Amino acid sequence: MSDSGINEIQWTIHTTHPELVKQARASLSEVIDPEIGMDIIQLGLIRDVEINNGVGLIKMILTTPFCPYGPAMIEMTKAKATEGLNMPITIEMGMEMWDFSMMEDPSALDWGMYA
């Protein structure tokens, strides 16, 4: 975690294509989880971003395996990443279970449910 309390996930492109990190984060942060009302970057749903031979690979998870908005969020993620990185994108769904510790700033989620 950085000094700001933000737990920015380090993707493969942080090392291989650092010039693309800012635009990747900006475009992907436009995808909002409609149930939670936070973007997929804040929630930590984007687990990795790689670029191989001019094609992006995004590894992502959903907050729940049976998220009713899952298919729409995956399509929106692909569209925003394609637009933001200006290259074809493949989405790979991870099997890990999401939890609050994956969030960039867990304190941003204050629903009063876990006091």
- The pLDDT tens digits for 47-80 are 999 999 999 999 999 998 888 899 999 999 999 9
Q: How confident is the model at residue 114 (pLDDT cuts 50, 70, 90)?
A: very low
Q: What is the mean pLDDT of residues 3-8?
A: 64
| Tokens describing residue 21 | 């990190």
Domain residue extents for the chain: 13-99
**pLDDT value for 110:** 60
Class level of CATH domain 13-99: alpha beta
CA distance 36 to 50: 27
Question: Who has greater pLDDT, 30 or 113?
Answer: 30
Residue 4 clears pLDDT 60, i.e. is over it: no
